Chain A
Amino acid sequence: MSGVFDFLSDSAHWSGSDGIPNRLLEHLQYSFGALLFVLLIALPLGLFVGHTGRGALGIAGVANALRALPTFGLLVFVVILLSGYLPGDFAYLGPSLLVLVILGVPAVLANTYAGVQSVDLAARDAARGMGMTGWQVLWRVEVPNALPLIISGVRSSILQIVATATIAAYVSLGGLGRFIIDGLSQRDYAQMASGAVLVAALALVLDLLLALLQRLVVSRGVTGRFETGGADAVPIDARKLTASVAASSDEGV
C-alpha cells in the first residue's frame, strides 16, 4: 500500500494526457455520457410500462437475461463486431459506449417500472377521483411516489457503468482503468493498485452524491421524514393516500 501512496503523491502522475486528472475526466465523461442515453431510453419506457402495464413481462425477462450475460464478454464481442466498420479512435470508443448504455439500461428500466407499478392503488384512484388526467396522475402522483426507486435504479446503473468503463480499458478505452491494465502489462503493482483505489473512490463518491440527491428530491410526504421529527413523524403507510396527493401540490418535488 505504501507503493500506492508514492504513486499518488508523485506530481508526475498528476499532469498530461495519462495523468490522473485527465483519466478521471475521461472516466466521468464516458460514465455520464452513457448515463444520459440510459436515462433517455429507460425513463420513458419504464414510465410507459409502469403506467399502462403493457409489456411488463418483457421488462422482467430482459433485466434477468442481462444479469446473466457476462459484461466482459459482451464488451469484447461488440468491439470485435463493430470496430472494423468504424473510423479511427471511434472504432473502440463507440462500441464501448454502446455496451455501457446496454448494461446501464436494465437497472433504471426495471426500477422505474417497479416504482410506478407499486404506487398504492388507492392513491391513484384518489387522484383520478380528483379529476386528474392520465398525464397528471403520472407526473403528480406516480413519479413522485416512484422517485426513491427510480433514483436507486440510477445508482445501480451508474455503478455498473463505472465498473464496466474500468474493464473497457482492456479494449483500449481511456479512463482510470488504464492504470490497472497498463500497470499489469508493465508489472507495476503500485500503478494497478492506485488505479483500483481511484476507481473505488470514484464509485463511492458518485453513489454518495446520488444518495444525497435522493434525500433532496424525494418528497417528505413519501419518505415520512419531517423536520419536526420525533413522535410526530407519521409512518408512510398510514398517510400514503393523503401524502401522495399532497406531494404533487405543495412546494414542488
Chain B
Amino acid sequence: MIDFLRNRPEDVIAWTWAHIWLSVLPVVIGLAIALPIGWLAARFRWTYPPLTNLAGLLYTIPSLALFVLMPAFIGTKILSPVNVVVALTIYTVALLVRVVADGLNAVPADVRAAATAIGYTGFQRFLRVELPIAVPVITAGLRVAAVSNVSLVSVAALIGVAQLGSLFTEGFQRDVMGVVLLGILLCLALALVLDATILLISRWLTPWRRAVAAR
C-alpha cells in the first residue's frame, strides 16, 4: 500500500481528482434536474405517483448495466467518462425527485398560507419560503446520493474509466491486497468528506435551526 503511494503518487492523485469529479458532478446536475421535477410532483399531486414510480424503476437498473447501455442511448464511446456522469445523474435524479417532493409537501400549510398572506406570489414563495424549509430533507437525500455515488463510480473501472476504482482492477490483476485496501480507504475517506461537506452546507443554509436549537 505504502509502496504504491511512493512509486506512483501522481496516479493516485489524478485518480482521486477524477473520482471527486465523477462523484460530485452528477449530484450537482441531478439536483438541478430534480428540483423542478420534484416541485411538479408536489404542486400537482396527480403527477406524484407516475413520477416517483418512474424514478423507482430507473433506480432498479444495476450500475454496471446502466454504464454499458449509455453509449447506445447517447452515442458516446464505451470508454468515455461521460457515460458515468450521465448514468449517475440518472440515479441521483431518481433518488432526489421523491425526496424533493416529500420535502416540499412537508412544509406546514399555515406557513404556506402566511407567506401568501404577506404577499408572496407562487414562485417567490417557492424560492424564499418552501425551498428553504425543505433544505434539511433535500440535503439528507443529497448525502445519500453523494455517498453512494462514490461507491458506484469505482465500478466504472471495469469499463476503463480511470479513478480510484482502478486501484481495485490493478490490485486484482497483480494479486496485491494492499493496493485494493488503499482504494477502499481513499473511497471511504472521500465519502466521509463529501458527507461532511453537504452537512456543513445544510447548516449554513439553515441558520434558523441553530437559533431554535440554542433557545
- Report which A residues bind B (CB closer than 8 A): 1, 4, 67-74, 76-77, 79-81, 159, 162-163, 166-167, 170-171, 177, 180-181, 184, 189, 192-193, 195-197, 199-200, 203-204, 207
Q: Are the CB atoms of A180 and B65 closer together than 8 Å?
A: yes
Q: Are A181 and B158 in contact (CB under 8 A)?
A: yes
Chain A residue with minimal CB distance to B190?
A68
Decide if the interface of chain B is mainly helix, strand, loop or mixed: helix
Q: List 10 A-B contacts (CB under 8 A).
A: A68-B191, A69-B187, A69-B188, A76-B171, A80-B172, A81-B177, A167-B155, A167-B158, A184-B158, A192-B68
User: Interface of chain A, helix or strand or loop or mixed?
Assistant: helix
B181 on interface, CB distance cutoff 8 Å = yes
B61 at the binding interface (Cβ < 8 Å): yes
- B61-96 contacts to A (CB < 8 Å): 61-66, 68-69, 71-72, 78
Give the complex CA separation of A177 and B147 in angstroms: 24
Tell which of A74, A76, A203 touches B172, judged by Cβ atoms closer than 8 Å.
A76
Q: CA of A204 to CA of B58 in the docked complex: distance in angstroms?
A: 9
**Residues on the B chain within 8 Å of A207, using CB:** 57, 60
By beta carbon, the residue of chain A nearest B153 is A70
Q: Is the CB of B69 within 8 A of A73?
A: no
Given contacts A79-B172, A80-B180, A204-B57, contact A72 B155 (CB under 8 A): yes
| Cβ contact of B62, chosen from A77, A81, A162, A184, cutoff 8 A | A162
A166 to B67: give the CA distance in the assembly, Å: 12
User: Which B residues are CB-close (under 8 A) to A77?
Assistant: 177, 180-181, 184
Interface: B144 (CB within 8 A): yes
Chain B CB count within 10 A is highest, among A71, A76, A167, A197, for A76
8 Å CB interface, B149-195 against A: 150-151, 154-155, 157-160, 164-165, 167-169, 171-172, 175-177, 180-181, 183-184, 187-188, 191-192, 195
Q: Which residues does chain A contribute within 8 Å of B172, judged by CB atoms?
A: 76, 79-80, 170-171
B44 to chain A, nearest CB (A): 21
Set of chain A residues within 8 Å of B169, measured between Cβ atoms: 76, 170
Residues of B within 8 Å of A71, CB to CB, are 151, 154-155
Other than the known A73-B183, A180-B158, A184-B159, what 6 A-B pairs have Cβ atoms closer than 8 Å? Answer: A70-B184, A73-B154, A189-B78, A200-B66, A203-B62, A204-B60
Q: Is A200 touching B147 in the complex (CB atoms < 8 A)?
A: no
Q: Cα distance A192–B212 when bound, in Å?
A: 55
Contact of B68 among A1, A79, A81, A193 (CB under 8 A): A193
Rounded to whole angstroms, the CA-CA distance of A166 and B60 in the bound complex is 13
- Pairs of residues from A and B, 6 with the lowest C-beta to C-beta distance, nearest first: A163-B62, A68-B191, A196-B65, A196-B68, A73-B184, A70-B187
